[in-house]
Every structure is written in C-alpha cells, then in structure tokens.
C-alpha cells in the first residue's frame, strides 16, 4: 500500500464526498498500532488515514526525549516503509495542533517535507491539522491562512477547525467551554471559506463542530446536532454556487450511533477521527491476558512465572488484533469498505 501523494489524496477525499462515505482517521502511537490500521484497511479494501497527535508523537519519541515532532517523524517514516506491502492507499495526517504548539510541532513537520521535496522524495505527511478553535475566529484564520500558504506550496492539505470540540484529548480539556461554542454557525463557515479561498491552489478540510465531544459517554449524554453541517453547506452553496462545498471532518466520533454517523455522511463528512474506541480495543486483550494468567505474568510467591505470558510479544499481538478489529468496524460504520482507488 503506497502512501498517497497529493493528487491521489485529493481524489480519495473527493471520492468520499461524491459517494457519501468517510475515511476512518486512526490515531497511532507506535509501530504496533500502525500495523493494526494497515491490516484492517487492507482487509476491507479501503483506503484510510493514519494520524499522529502531539501527545502520540511525544510518546513515540520516548521518555528520554518527549519530542512530539521527532516522534511523529519516526512513526511516519515507518508507515512509509510498511505501507509498501499492502494494496490500498493510506494518507498520513497530524491531529489537533493548537496555536501554542505550531512552532514546536507543525512547523518542524512541514520543514521535514520541504527538505524531502528538495531532495526529490515524497511528502512525509500528506495533511496537517491546525486547531485554532480556542481563538477568536479572525485570529484563528489569520494563523490558518499563513500556514495554508506554506502547506499549499508543498502540496500538503490543511485541516482547520472553527468551534470547540468538547471533552479532553491529549491533556487539552475543553469541558468548561460554554455550550454555544460547541456549535459552528453558518456565518462562521462562510468566513472560513472566504478566508481560506484567499490561498490559490491549496486544498483543505474543515472540522466544524456540532456538539461533538472527545471521549466516550453513555447514550444521551452527548447532544449532537448534525443539521449544523447541512446548514453550513447550504449557506455556502447559496452564497457561492453549487460547486462550493466543504470536505468536513467529524471529531469526537467515538461512541456515536450509526444513525448519527450516517447523517453526517449525508452532509459532506469525508473523514472521521477514531481514537478513544481504538485505545480501548488495544488495551482490552492485554487486560484479559493478565487477568486470566495472573500467576504466569507475575512471579508470585517465589515462583518463576511463565514467559509465554509475560513476553510482551504475546499480549501485544493480541492488542494489535483487537485494535485492527475495531478499525474494521469503523470502516464498516463509515461505509468505506471496497472503496480503494488503488489500481483504479
């Protein structure tokens, strides 16, 4: 599975928009979680998106470094190598990068791609996310436009966000955000389109918010309003014609009902982030092995334990399979199976 270039990635996103499905965008923190994604995408004949957050990159760099950019670079380089053995496309993306982390995370990654392109190599990442949702919209777009200009020059797709996704992810807690900030207005969406249209030749994705929340909550605790996405798309077409539309991104999708997911696909969602559910799917088989084989995992009461249970490979293989199974479910939920452009 070769990593998609700009032309193929753009076709992937437009294919999803035209056909009414979305790509699962799965956060990874290790080679093991990357392998889980590659396996699942290949099994379902589905192109997909693998992404790294600032926290994921920091973790991957190791406790001795905690360098988010270097960890993200290492994970991306691994995916480039591993993807060669599969038969669907994958794109590499970075998740939420807040304004205060742009210089330490996003810019070094853009620079890495610029160096690669100068040497005749393909882009390291195919898209990046700038999350300026905590800022006033004008300030958010001021930063986004500058980043978009630089990304467009290197054929990198930029994802932006207006409105705040609730909950907590990677240590960023927005649970105290006023309710009205959790919903992007049509006026906000039109302003995003106006500002980003200033950059010619670039392509972008837009994470509009409609009550979505990071994490998993009991049914009824999260009040999604997907019609907000429709209202924004309708306002855009009314103002700029039928050919104007957003490639929309659904953040905080873990735990959503199939009906809610389907409704967002009808309104132009082409990418849905899945992280919390895959974290649990990775961890659950490990817990099962430890609980079922307590005396083997630990050297209890002077015994020697059982190496086949405490060898990390024994439980991490199960973790990889558990996560892969959950990615397969995400592919099915998003109606992406069988939609690979590989070989087309």
Contact yes or no for 214/167 (Cβ under 8 A)? yes
Kindly name the residue from 95, 170, 188, 333 that is annotated as catalytic. Answer: 95
User: Which residue intervals of the chain are DSSP H helices?
Assistant: 6-19, 31-43, 54-61, 68-82, 107-118, 137-153, 186-196, 227-240, 258-266, 276-292, 294-297, 307-310, 312-333
- d(CA 76, CA 325) in angstroms, rounded, equals 22
Q: How far is CA 92 from CA 52, 78, 282, in A?
A: 8, 11, 20
- d(CA 26, CA 98) in angstroms, rounded, equals 19
95 in catalytic set: yes
- d(CA 118, CA 43) in angstroms, rounded, equals 35
Residue 272: both structure tokens together:
């849905």
- d(CA 10, CA 30) in angstroms, rounded, equals 26
Tell me how many degrees the CA angle 315-26-105 measures, rounded to the nearest 5. Answer: 105
Would you please indicate which residues are annotated as catalytic (active-site) residues?
Answer: 95
């Amino acid at each position: 599975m070769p990593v998609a270039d700009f032309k193929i990635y753009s076709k992937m996103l437009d294919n999803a928009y035209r056909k009414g499905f979305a790509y699962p965008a799965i956060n990874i923190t290790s080679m093991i979680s990357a392998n889980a994604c590659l396996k699942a995408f290949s099994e379902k004949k589905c192109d997909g998106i693998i992404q790294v957050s600032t926290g994921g990159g920091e973790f991957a760099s190791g406790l001795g470094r905690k360098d988010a950019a270097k960890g993200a670079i290492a994970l991306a380089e691994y995916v480039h190598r591993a993807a060669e053995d599969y038969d669907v496309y994958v794109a590499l993306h970075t998740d939420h990068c807040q304004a205060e982390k742009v210089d330490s995370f996003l810019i070094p990654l853009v620079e890495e791609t610029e160096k690669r392109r100068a040497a005749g190599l393909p882009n390291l990442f195919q898209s990046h996310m700038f999350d300026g949702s905590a800022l006033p919209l004008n300030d958010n777009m001021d930063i986004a436009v500058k980043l978009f200009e630089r990304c467009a020059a290197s054929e990198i797709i930029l994802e932006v966000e207006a409105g705040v996704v609730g909950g907590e992810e990677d240590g960023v807690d927005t649970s105290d955000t006023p309710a009205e900030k959790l919903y992007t207005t049509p006026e906000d969406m039109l302003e995003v389109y106006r500002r980003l249209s200033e950059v010619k030749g670039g392509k972008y994705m837009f994470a509009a918010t409609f009550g979505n929340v990071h994490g998993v909550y009991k049914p009824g605790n999260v009040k999604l309003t997907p019609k907000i996405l429709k209202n924004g798309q309708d306002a855009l077409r009314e103002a700029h014609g039928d050919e104007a539309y957003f490639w929309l991104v659904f953040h905080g999708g873990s735990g959503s009902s199939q009906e809610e997911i389907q409704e967002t696909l009808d309104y132009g969602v082409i990418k849905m982030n899945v992280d919390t559910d895959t974290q649990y799917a990775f961890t659950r088989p490990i817990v099962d092995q430890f609980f079922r084989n307590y005396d083997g995992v630990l050297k209890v009461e002077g015994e020697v334990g059982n190496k086949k249970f405490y060898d990390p490979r024994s439980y991490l293989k199960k973790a990889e399979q558990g996560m892969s199974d959950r990615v397969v479910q995400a592919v099915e939920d998003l109606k992406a199976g069988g939609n690979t452009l590989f070989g087309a």
